[in-house]
Amino acid sequence: MRLLTHNMLSSNIKGVTNGFPLRIEAEKVVEKVVEMNADFLKKMFEKIDWKAFADASRAMGYAELPEEADSSMLESDEFLQRYHHALLELHLEEGALICPETGRRFPVNKGIPNMLLHEDEV
């Protein structure tokens, strides 16, 4: 699971109001090289919740992202490179996503987050 996916997900258990962001419990993080597409990164920048993204990158052991970011920073290649690396190249291979409200664990195995709810959660 890449951080782009993480940034889009929340805990949707019935009754949960603050299901975002899911806390990352990282057991195994891998890096996979992805070709950089600046247009895509710029487009996604507007959709991303930066605070959650930067926190998530730290939980994955990558501390190079600034706490806050605004679109003027996209002009910098160095920033773009870090942003690209954190968004698309860091993979959570094994671990879990934790619902911030209930503490429910959504396991991540082989890079696939399992977001399906139990019978009593829907």
Partner 1 sequence: MWYLCVFFHRLLDYRKPEVESLAELFGAFGDNQNGDFSSKNRSLEWKLPLHHHPDSPFHFVNLPSEDVARNIANRSILVKGMYELWGEGGSYEELKDSILSYPDERKLPYLDSNSTFKITVDTFGKVTSFQEQKELIQGLSYIPFKGQVKLKNPDHNFWLIETDDYGANNGLPPIVQKSIFFAREVGSADRKLIPTYQLKSRKYLGPTAMDAEMAFLMANQAVATSGKLVYDPFVGTGSILVAAAHFGAMTMGADIDIRVVRDGRGPDCNVWSNFKQYGLPMPIGLLRADNNLPPWRPGLKEVFDAIICDPPYGVRAGGRKSGGRKLLKGAVEPYVVPDDKRTDHIPSTASYSLVECVHDLLDLAARMLIMGGRLVFFYPVLREDDFAANHFPEHPCFKLIATSEQILSSRYSRVLLTMVKTDPYTEELAEAARLKHIDFRENHLKWLEDGNLHSAVFSPADAHLTLTGDSKFTKEPKPKYRGKYV
Binding site for partner 1 (CB under 8 A): 1-2, 4-5, 7-12, 19-21, 32, 34-35, 37, 39-40, 43-44, 47, 49, 88, 105, 109-120, 122
Cα dist. 5→2, 15, 42, 53, 77 in Å? 6, 23, 16, 10, 23
Rounded Cα gap, residues 110 and 101, in angstroms: 25
> Please, what is the minimum distance in Å from the beta carbon of residue 38 to partner 1?
9
> Please, what is the minimum distance in Å from the beta carbon of residue 46 to partner 1?
9
> Please, what is the minimum distance in Å from the beta carbon of residue 29 to partner 1?
16
Nearer to partner 1 (CB atom), residue 67 or residue 110: 110
Check residue 71 and give left, alpha or beta (phi > 0: left; psi -120 to 50: alpha). alpha
Q: Which residues pair with 2 in a beta bridge?
A: 91
